[in-house]
Amino acid sequence: MKNAIQGAAALLAVMSAGTAMAQSAVTIYGLLDEGVVHTTNADAAGHSMTKMPSLTGSFPSRVGVRGTEDLGGGLQAVFTLEAGLQMDTGTLSQGNRLFGRQASVGLKGDFGTVTLGRQVNMTFMAMLKSDVMGPNLFSISSIDPYIPNARSDNAVGYYGGFNNVVVGATYSTGRDSSSAGGPGGTNCGGEVAGNAKACRQVTGLVGYETPAYGFNVAYDIMYGNTGAANGLTSSNNSDKRLMLNGYVKAGEARIGAGVMDRSTHAATGLIETDLYYLGVSYPLTPFVTLDTQVARRNQKNSDNDVNLLVGRLSYYFSKRTAVYAALGRMKNSGTSAVSLDTGGTVGAGKTQNGLMTGLRHTF
């Protein structure tokens, strides 16, 4: 009898474990991307530079863990932990945060998904299908480095789709707690007693998406506080972006375009810009894809405008591994100093040309 009881207990344990595994899943995933880039006019003297980039190649490198648990009735618990990697040195990205790309937990159901924690916001989501180059080293990310880094700390997020209509929003009580500087950390942790506006951020999106075409409208406003980067040194300072983006399939080609109106009310004054972009992605063969993009940033009441032209060719050994090469040109006018390579350098008012090649592997 004792042996029978022990056997039954063991069987129940195995069955319970099997049920738990069927109801939940955890996935480890990643992307490793590194290359070599050469750019001209990397300083005021016109010198060239050859280097391995830190921020990105064709896509930023990362490793992550995501999971789901079935709670019944169509409800799931979800989580994502994702770390950014700098392949040239092996260090962490996003201001040296352990899970700087994402660290969120939430609930998912027919109503959509609600998440809490550090997460991508609606500016990031709005650009996914219209920006054919994505966070490539040569792309509109060079003109506005916030685009591929559109994430919010201390955020409540929502995203849902209903019969091709997509809606989303995030609300952050303190948008960026890192003091690393640049797009990786802007020192605006917020959550200040007596000043609820300090470092607050609100983003929203409404769109319509089908396999053949789609468009969206997105809004993003962030506030500053004492010590915050980019001139937002008071909670009365703000950086606002209003976007209209779209994409359409034309045969095998995907065409993406958009416009972003930006108003920065900083301690140094008001800066207003419009960013326009148009891109095409076309599979030349089942193994080779050509991506091209043109863009222009117009700074209002100023001659400091920027024009971008870039092309990228990717060869896929498999669905997981590809090599790529890209050519780009960034023309700076006036005293503008926007580098072709994201996070790079260029002499003020100089035109910069660049060549990049690299290898990407996903797992």
CA distance 306 to 334: 9
Output the pLDDT for position 16: 41
Q: What is the CA radius of gyration of the chain?
A: 23
23 within domain boundaries: no
| 1 has pLDDT over 60 | no
79 within domain boundaries: yes
* Residue of 257, 259, 178, 169 whose CA lies nearest to 221: 169
Output 338 or 8, whichever has higher pLDDT: 338
19 within domain boundaries: no
| 3-state secondary structure (DSSP) of residue 139 | coil
8 within domain boundaries: no
| 94 has pLDDT over 70 | yes
218 within domain boundaries: yes
CA distance 197 to 219: 17
CA distance 321 to 324: 10
Q: Which two tokens stand for residue 297?
A: 């940033």
10 within domain boundaries: no
Which H or E run includes 7?
A: helix 2-23
- Whole-number mean pLDDT of the chain? 94
Which of 6-10, 53-57, 313-317, 338-342 comes out lowest in average pLDDT? 6-10
User: Percentage of the chain surpassing pLDDT 90?
Assistant: 92
pLDDT band at residue 155 under the 50/70/90 scheme: very high
Output the pLDDT for position 10: 46
Q: What is the CATH number of the domain that holds 253?
A: 2.40.160.10
128 residue type, one letter: L
CA distance 165 to 183: 31
| 246 has pLDDT over 90 | yes
Query: Contact, 175 vs 199, CB < 8 A?
Result: yes
| 20 has pLDDT over 80 | no
Output the pLDDT for position 182: 83
Number of domains present in the structure of the chain: 1
Residue-range definition of the domain harbouring residue 166: 32-362
208 within domain boundaries: yes
User: Percentage of the chain surpassing pLDDT 70?
Assistant: 94
Place of tokens 């660049």: 354
Output the pLDDT for position 183: 85
CA angle 320, 324, 330 (to 5 degrees): 135
pLDDT in tens, 59-81: 999 999 999 999 999 999 999 99
| 3-state secondary structure (DSSP) of residue 129 | coil
Q: Which two tokens stand for residue 157?
A: 């997020």
Query: Contact, 279 vs 133, CB < 8 A?
Result: yes
15 within domain boundaries: no
